[in-house]
Structure 1
Amino acid sequence: MRLDKSVTVHDITRQLPEIAELRDHCRSLAMLEAILSPDWESRYHSFAARWSESEEMASMRNGSGAEYSIVFSSAGAYIRGFDHESAMSPYAEDGPWPGVLDEVPEVFRGYVEEPAFTDEDGMPVVTACLWREAKDDAWRAGTIDFPEVSSGDPDGSGYLFQLLTDRSAEAFQQFAEDYYEVPVDLAAIRHILALGPLTDEVVAAVNPHVALAELAEDITEIGYPRG
């Protein structure tokens, strides 16, 4: 049973945009963080435009046990989230919580056991999972009996996906200024969230200590539009 105030993956399915818009948003988040943090290890959000020959992957990790991965392919998009403090942690339940992975479509089943998304024993590291096939008109998640929690979200979805459901420049500005402890120009954030062309001025408005020329490798890795 869930509390009315809590957020679950079922709420997230109703708040995410279509696949193409989500992909663009994930690329822009990764680009903003590449500018803010030259050190890749310190970034929350990343994007690999060439995760494989046919797949792209967006990812988030907070360095304290919360993370997500989003695989974009011709089949659609598959999202795996993990909150280590969740009551639905597979480590608390000796395996994934019932229903989280049971209804994953066959086209995405390979990701359930993908080594990048499992631990060294092959157990899926997941508390929340959702997907959208290319032919679907909505995001989907499994049929789940969520545990009752006294605070927070039973599967961690509200925290994990907060910058995917609130895609405003203001939301990213608050996150960035809290995490990096530096002021970040709101207009520059809006520009990059819209995948606007990178210029020396835009980059300097986000981080005056980074030059556009230094971002060439990140731009290629992320697949951010050039010019």
Structure 2
Amino acid sequence: MTVHDLVKVLPEPDVLLARCRAFAALDAVLGGTWQRHRFEPRWSEGVALAEWESGGGDEYRVVFDPAGVLLMGFDHESAATPWRVEPRAHWPGLLDGVPAALSRHLTDPALLFEGFLDATVCVWREAGAAAWSCGPVAFDGYDDADADGADWLFEPLVGGVDAYVAFAEDIYGRPVDRELVASVVAGSPV
């Protein structure tokens, strides 16, 4: 699965927002001081930010802006890593087409590493749009399973409750109550 497949399976923005909030709350309980998912409802004026870090250099960020949603992921071992060349460069087409109303987040210093946006996946959905979009990236000659990291970076966001339970049990090494997770994703307090 690449970014082209991801845009077909991402949930609606309101569902994505609910999952991001819930996973951050659940990680705060399960992970203590080292939570993988984080959510900042007032990251900047009118904008919320969800983040996830693997602990091994991989991450994603989801910006919830009144103009729409911008999702950026980074798989440091994928073929599309900007670190494949010096100086770093995005995979051709990765950021092409990002709407002007959302593109300011691509250069926000808070989202950059050493002045550069480390990203192997970029997806957006403008407010009022009927579907998610991505740039015209092509991975000719690369196995789709590991071309950009889209196949695994966003598993809990795409898979919802069951995917989060599997993630949390693996990362935190203990059983996680599926009904509790479903309840929190539905909006119940932790």
Q: Same fold (TM over 0.5)?
A: yes
Shift of the 116–147 alpha-carbon distance from structure 1 to 2, 3 Å rule, reads: farther
2:124 maps to what in 1?
131
Question: How many pairs were matched up?
Answer: 188
Instruction: Let me know the Cα RMSD of the aligned residues.
Output: 1.4
Confirm or deny: 8 A CA contact 2:68 2:125 kept in the other structure: yes
1:197 maps to 2:189 = yes
Give ranges in structure 1 of 5+ residues lacking alignment.
Answer: 1-6, 199-227
Q: Find the residue that maps to 1:144 and give its secondary structure.
A: coil
Q: Find the residue that maps to 1:51 and give its secondary structure.
A: strand
Residue in structure 1 matching 2:99, options 79, 99, 105: 105
2:15 maps to what in 1?
21
Confirm or deny: 8 A CA contact 1:97 1:127 kept in the other structure: yes
Confirm or deny: 8 A CA contact 1:87 1:147 kept in the other structure: no
Q: Partners in 1 of 2:9 and 2:188 — Cα distance?
A: 24
Q: Partners in 1 of 2:145 and 2:131 — Cα distance?
A: 26
1:69 maps to what in 2?
61
Shift of the 75–170 alpha-carbon distance from structure 1 to 2, 3 Å rule, reads: same
1:44 maps to 2:36 = yes
Confirm or deny: 8 A CA contact 2:2 2:144 kept in the other structure: no
Scaled by the length of structure 2, the TM-score of the pair is 0.93
1:96 maps to what in 2?
90
2:155 maps to what in 1?
162
The Cα offsets for residues 38-82 of structure 1, whole Å up to 9 and x where unpaired, read as 20xx21111001101210001110110110000101101001110
TM-aligned CA deviation for residue 186 of structure 1: 1.7
TM-aligned CA deviation for residue 33 of structure 1: 0.6
Matched to 2:118, the amino acid is V
Scaled by the length of structure 1, the TM-score of the pair is 0.79
Give the strand-richer structure, 1 or 2: 2
Confirm or deny: 8 A CA contact 2:63 2:70 kept in the other structure: yes
Answer with 1 or 2: which has the greater Rg: 1
Confirm or deny: 8 A CA contact 2:2 2:145 kept in the other structure: no
Give ranges in structure 2 of 5+ residues lacking alignment.
Answer: none
Shift of the 69–98 alpha-carbon distance from structure 1 to 2, 3 Å rule, reads: same
1:60 maps to 2:52 = yes
Q: Find the residue that maps to 1:166 and give its secondary structure.
A: helix
User: Percent of pairs identical after alignment?
Assistant: 40
Residue in structure 2 matching 1:149, options 142, 145, 167: 142
Confirm or deny: 8 A CA contact 1:46 1:58 kept in the other structure: yes
